[in-house]
Every structure is written in structure tokens, then in C-alpha cells.
Amino acid sequence: MVVFMTAKTSILMMLPLALATSTAVAQDEQSVSFDFYGKANLSVQSNDEGSGSETVLESNASRIGVKGGSELNDGLEVIYQLEWEVDLADLGGDNNLKSRNQYVGLRGNFGEFTVGRRDTVLKTLQGDLDQFNDYEADIKSLFEGENRTSNTLSYYSPAFADVRVAGSIVLSEEETQDDGYSLALTYGDDELDSTPYYFGAAIDRDVDGYDVERLIGYTKVADTMFGLMWQQQQEVDGSNEADGFVASVQQPFGRFSVKAQYQMMDFVDGEDDSIALGVDYKLAKSTKVFAWYTGRDLDTLAEEQTYFAVGLEHKF
């Protein structure tokens, strides 16, 4: 009995090591990739929307996520991403987490195909144009088309002479509502690492109740980045038609980065415009402090709004 128990104990003690070894071998054979990441972005923000000013603490799309993949065979890989927005300032409990991009798919010589919840290709077209993404001057404050949709099939092609095509199909769960789709065509590297220019065109049809056409382009002159975007939009029934543009500029000075952005959308009942100025200071590669100002003149609401914020961001 003692011999049996000793042998059994030895086997049980060896099982975790054997499992760990076999898992490591399997992962090595499959070239598994795994990346846990996140961003904490908090700012003290002063808001004046016409009825008096208030000072609040804002969590600017802080997030956590995991993404990766596993090689299935030569040239074919399964990929995934699971990401949540985390409110570090106000909401707690069940309201603290908000779903962002969450999908699974395949990547290979044919390109990339995913299913799940994901930004439409019209939204991803913007690349690095929006200098105030996730802040009050985010282009979504005036422009339609910044959609992250559920029940979405997405495809991104490989590059052919720096040209790529992409598409999203948004499956409708309502019998009376058509499936939506988003199509995009781009030229160049949106990070401007391998090409000096980035251009793109995209359309949405029946996505979140709107039809949208968007053109975008940006480049660098020396170290200064200049970007332009034009958009036309209307509700699917043909009402509420509007068009407008965004112009942005960003200039680094050592650890500082100075940026500015102007937006205008022309509606039937007036123009809404926004101007934003900001500065970032890098404390380290993944950490920065920032300050920005945004002013809006909204004819459609007969309001003027101003915002000012100072904050800290850390990525991991």
C-alpha cells in the first residue's frame, strides 16, 4: 500500500509538469501569440455647455484587452481580440465595463476575415487623422459613421502595390431592417512608416440608420503631419442631409507634441463647427501628460460650448 501511494503521489506531482511541457510544445509548434494590453486615461475636465460650468473627472475610453492568434498550418492563422472599455472615474459595478472590439477570425494570404463586434471599415479609414480621438473634439461629436457594430462580418485584403480593399456586413436582427454594409479603398500606410501619403475612400449603407460617403488623406511635411477629411451623410430615408470637413495638424517638438483640429458640418438648419488645440508631453514611451481646449459653435442647437482638460495617460 505504501509503495502504491508513493507511486500515485509521484504521478500526480508529475502531471502538472507534463501538462505544462506538452502545452508549451503545442504552443511552440502552433506559434501561439498572446498580448494583454490596456490604456488608462484620466483627465480633470471643465465643461461649459451654456447653462454654467462644472468640473468633472473623465475616463477617456480607458480600456483593457487581450488579442492574439495561433498558426493552424502554413500560411493560415486563427486570430482574436477581446476588448472592454473601463470607466476609471464614475461608473462601478456592472456598469464599469463596456464592450469594444470583440471578434474571432482567420488571417492568411487571402487577407483577414473576422466575425463578431468590430469597428466598421468606414470608421477605421480615419487612421491617425483624428488628433483628439476619445476626447470632446473626437470627430464623432459632429460626424456620423463612427460605428462599432455587433453581428458584423469584416474583411481586409492584403496590400497590392500599397492598395487595400475592405468591407463590413452588419447583419440585421429586425425583419423590417435591411442588412448594412461598409466598403473602403485605401492607398498607403496609415502610420506613414512605409509610404509618405495615406489616402482612402469609404461608404456606409444602412449602418446605424445612415448612408455616408467619406474621403480622407494625410501626409507629413518634414515632421509636421497634415490631414483632411470630407464627408457627406444622410439618414436612410433621405432626410437630415449634411456635409462637412475636418482639417488637422500635428507638430512634435522634442518630448512635446502640439496639435490643432477644425471641424465643420453644414446641416439644412445651420452649421456646427468645432476647434480644438492641445499639447502632449511624453514622460516615457508609454506615458504622457496632456492638456487641450475645445470650443463649439452649434447653430443646430443655438449653443456655444467650451471644454478644457488636463490629464494623464499610461499604456501597457
**Residue spans per domain, the chain:** 44-315
Instruction: Identify the band that residue 18 occupies on the pLDDT scale cut at 50, 70 and 90.
Output: very low
Q: Are 210 and 144 in contact (CB under 8 A)?
A: yes
For residue 92, what pLDDT is reported? Answer: 77
Q: Kindly state the percentage of the chain with pLDDT values over 90.
A: 82
Domain 44-315 has CATH 3.30.300.20: no
Which residue type is seen at 276? A
Q: What is the pLDDT of residues 133-144, one digit of tens each?
A: 999 999 999 999
- Whole-angstrom Cα distance, residue 182 to residue 165? 11
User: What digits encode the pLDDT tens for the residues 261-285?
Assistant: 999 999 999 999 999 999 999 999 9
Query: pLDDT category, 29, cuts 50, 70, 90?
Result: low
2-6, 66-70, 150-154, 303-307 — which is least confidently predicted? 2-6
Q: What is the pTM of this model?
A: 0.87
Instruction: Provide the 3-class DSSP secondary structure of residue 20.
Output: helix
Q: Tell me if 147 sits within 8 A of 123, measured CB to CB.
A: yes
